[in-house]
Structure 1
């Protein structure tokens, strides 16, 4: 086993699987954090599903991510805040974030590992912290500049659910990692009737937004992103074989470079999302402000896809395909916010 295979093999099946029951940009990758030993602890073998086996993990996550009757839509929702983190100053609450996803399961293709193919659309909208309204523009306090807001509208993001950790997406050819075939074992723990599942997903791959072409939108030739999920599910619901889907609640956090529409360029720092999330068989739990905004501006996102389409891209790749680079000022200099502490080197 060479070094690359060793790093990939160390990736836990739990974190390599992008399981967003509706969280923007949750993605599988080649190298991720290891699964906790709790994933095979005593007490995870139920009358219906054995969560210490790959098949039990597949069937459980299929019910979390979708509906195994293959006819119904699974809806996910998320709502929270987005923070700015810079060296030499306190963390700032910048704006809110709210959205939802619509997903369906399709049968696996003939000749493929038995399982399901999940097809998904998702939207995420940035909101004013004071009013809760979805923003068209935002005043960037770091640069003291009003900037247009670019919301998230990913269509599609699809992936396969089998007894094995799925291959990571290529993001349009940007991520060429090919991990070995790893039996699926998620990071479960159980406290009475509460079933918990944790994920940590660490991404590092070449950015579609290269600073040479996007000097105001991007400060690095690589995307460095971490996403963290905490799911809670009713154990008895999961072990009821009549349930073709299960409701979930939990949290989603994401650490990512400055959002490209913020126009932070080479400014030191990053963004942190902190959200509640959940899923069910209706959009009633999603933020009604987000649902109504989508009804007017992104109506097709109110329904799940019916077929598998490629490519599956994150919001960063969609930005590169759909937006234009912001012009530089007349002096040709890239605006950025210097560190506040003059003793810290740039």
Structure 2
């Protein structure tokens, strides 16, 4: 929502850089001028603002200011909206649902200068045509009406330091490790005083939903997931020592197996998410009312960031395995298959 929840995430797109020139939130100085005030009062916390793409401490502090608000005790609300698609062989990519959600994150300074970010996120699926939040969904691949399970991650925490963080462990399922190296990201200069950050993670790791126990929910023994992000911010905001959070817009894309509640089993194909995101400065008051109501109906906690650090930090797939039960398997059930390949229209006629 994740809504930036991975330790090194991102995405490319020069068109987004151009969009940033017109769609970015007003800078702190511009907003202050409009309101007849001055952007003064340097925060009582130290962070590096001198732009240096080769300085891992600048990267650390800047990424923390994008991901959250580093002012002690403050929480930041992030929002995303977009669409998800189904991808199968021998047919067009198919739009399936709209998706919309939010997160609340709190960031604490550690003794070594790193930042510990603590986040909750919740994401709902909406009807393509009415945009109503879905409780059930007609699966066009199987013809079934299935129960929809929103993304609800509590928590997704990690440390932002001057060293590249380890990949998320997902409760011990992800065992990939790397040698320590400086935390440098793919920053680029954009048009009209903007800066563009591309960051992402690509993983394959054991599935918490193994096929022998979850035949209808499991995509197989391994999860292959890619999450890619782009952030667009204004240079003047990145350099501003009065800003503990950097206003930005961005985009999140995700390639993931079929969602377990779709009951696709090991059917060929996958899901692709395309979304845009931004900060909501006034928090809950700035979110869509039906989104807030749906989250509150689940638990009031979704409207606040964690106040203490706890775990484990899991993705929606591991949470599904912990919180749901395997669906019954109808007699004779087999995973849906894509249509056969069409004949070659250029083949010589007999």
Match of 1:15 in 2: none
Q: 1:270 to 1:106 in 2, by over 3 A?
A: same
**For each residue in 1:320-345, what CA deviation from the matched residue of structure 2 results, as whole angstroms up to 9, or x when unmatched?**
0000000101x2x333212211679x
Is the aligned partner of 1:27 residue 2:6?
yes
Instruction: State the Cα distance separating 1:193 from its structure 2 match.
Output: 1.3
Q: 1:167 to 1:151 in 2, by over 3 A?
A: same
Match of 2:346 in 1: none
Match of 1:325 in 2: 326
Q: Which structure is larger by alpha-carbon Rg, 1 or 2?
A: 2
The farther-off stretch of 189-198 and 118-127 is: 189-198
**For each residue in 1:258-287, what CA deviation from the matched residue of structure 2 results, as whole angstroms up to 9, or x when unmatched?**
000000012110001111111243325543
Aligned equivalents of 2:289, 2:50: Cα separation in 1: 36
Tell me how many residue pairs correspond in the alignment.
Answer: 306
Is the aligned partner of 1:235 residue 2:214?
no
Aligned equivalents of 1:51, 1:302: Cα separation in 2: 35
Match of 2:163 in 1: 164
TM-score by length of 2: 0.82
Aligned equivalents of 1:131, 1:96: Cα separation in 2: 10
Aligned equivalents of 1:202, 1:294: Cα separation in 2: 29
2:83 to 81, 84, 89: 81
Paired residue secondary structure (2:277) = strand
The farther-off stretch of 168-177 and 248-257 is: 168-177
Aligned equivalents of 1:180, 1:88: Cα separation in 2: 42
Q: 1:287 to 1:52 in 2, by over 3 A?
A: farther
Paired residue secondary structure (2:208) = coil
Paired residue secondary structure (1:175) = coil
TM-score by length of 1: 0.83
Q: 1:212 to 1:172 in 2, by over 3 A?
A: same
Match of 2:266 in 1: 266
Is the aligned partner of 1:125 residue 2:116?
no
Aligned equivalents of 1:21, 1:172: Cα separation in 2: 17
Match of 1:57 in 2: 59
**For each residue in 1:11-53, what CA deviation from the matched residue of structure 2 results, as whole angstroms up to 9, or x when unmatched?**
xxxxxxxxx7825xx4348xx9999xxxxxxxxxx97343330
Instruction: State the Cα distance separating 1:115 from its structure 2 match.
Output: 1.1
Conserved 8 A contact 1:150-1:261: yes
Is the aligned partner of 1:224 residue 2:224?
yes
Aligned equivalents of 2:11, 2:90: Cα separation in 1: 32
Is the aligned partner of 1:142 residue 2:144?
no
Is the aligned partner of 1:336 residue 2:317?
no
Q: How does 1:30-109 map to 2 (within 5 A)?
A: 48-108=50-110
Conserved 8 A contact 1:248-1:280: no
Conserved 8 A contact 1:21-1:278: no
Conserved 8 A contact 2:119-2:305: yes
Paired residue secondary structure (2:90) = coil
Gaps of 5+ in 2: 13-47, 344-350
Is the aligned partner of 1:245 residue 2:245?
yes
Aligned equivalents of 1:47, 1:328: Cα separation in 2: 57
CA RMSD, 1 decimal: 2.2
Gaps of 5+ in 1: 1-19, 36-45
